[in-house]
Amino acid sequence: MAGSAPSAFALAGPSDQGTAPLHGYNVFLGSQGVTSTKGRSFVMVGLSQDVEGGDPYARLLQIARLRSDWDGRGAPEPSAISVIRALEVVAAMEDTPSATFDRLIPDANGGIGFVFLGEKPGERYASIDCSNSGQMMLVLVDRRKRSHVVRELEAERQALSDAFAEIDAFLET
């Protein structure tokens, strides 16, 4: 994981005007982008889909700047709340050194996904999905057993820390 982020927050985002309090964040949607007054800074630059050796905050900015139909198939742009949720996941990962992900990707249904591949990515993988509605979902997929588990996550540090441990255990078995 990249080092800690500085201490104020600004992301490029939608151009419509508005303000919404989101779980302790004050989010302002305006012509200058999405801004949070939570007290963290995420100064970001472009980055490829893989975050190995890269800055996940930079990748989040890249995803946050996507507009509707970014995939040519009508995918919605990520919402401000999905970006905030993704920032919460990254911040929780900084508190959990063993938590690492392989990809940070936009979701074709809207939102942002963290993909964990483990040592046998063809057999098992996991993801934490931050939807445009603000929901966070944990997804565990075992292709060998043709099974999957999907459950909602609370946007709290402890819940995310527990999810990272569950992902680690799932990918190691």
- pLDDT tens for each residue of 150-173: 999 998 899 999 999 999 999 987
- Across the range 85-95, mean pLDDT stands at 91
What band does 122 get if pLDDT is binned at 50, 70 and 90? confident
As beta bridge partners, residue 149 has: 140
Task: Tell me the pLDDT band of 104, cut-offs 50, 70 and 90.
Answer: very high
pLDDT score, position 67: 92
Whether the Cβ atoms of residue 59 and residue 104 lie closer than 8 Å to each other: yes
Highest mean pLDDT (candidates 46-60, 88-102, 159-173): 159-173
Q: Over the stretch 25-35, which tens digit does the pLDDT of each residue have?
A: 333 333 333 33
Q: What is the pLDDT of residue 54?
A: 65
- Is this prediction's pTM over 0.75? no
DSSP string, 34-68: EEE-SS---------SB-TTS-HHHHHHHHHT--T
pLDDT for 20 equals 36
Tell me the mean pLDDT in the region 52-64.
Answer: 79
Give the residue-averaged pLDDT of 88-92: 92
